[in-house]
Chain A
């Protein structure tokens, strides 16, 4: 049962343009969502998160949007840079702000390639 889905295994964009990575979830009990980035031969690194009480969170070039009614979230990267090329994982948890951390449900990942 894939509770978090990233339906696009790969995405290619031109440097300077917008990258949009999508994620869908099925469990309405999820109330915290995170994006992680992973380079080859490295562990995933935290990028940005959003609580279910919000519909948007920004951090520099990265913005995450949450549509709870559609159970959908997206990560926007503007402008995209070649250094952003990596695998991006969407993750969800169901313990909210009191989460002790650890049990995240990950999507399959989307490999982003930013062409110079």
Chain B
């Protein structure tokens, strides 16, 4: 089974430019999450999709960030215009329908991340 794939693995852009990150979740996983880790700090939640709907976008930093999941398959996260503080590693993760195991826990499968460097 293919895992969660993210593209690009690394992107270097200048302040003010636009970058679009893509995530392909595990096939059949309705839950898709975006997280971000900045400079070795905690991994922060950005948003959660259930299929194509945004279930929770409380972690999105500001309106320069736009996430989409058209058709409920892959997702994109666009940063426009990018600022220096947007640099970090953006992780995508997915989990099964309802996200709950028999134990009632949501176990996520992560992609390798997209490292964004804004100069």
Instruction: Tell me if chain B binds chain A.
Output: no
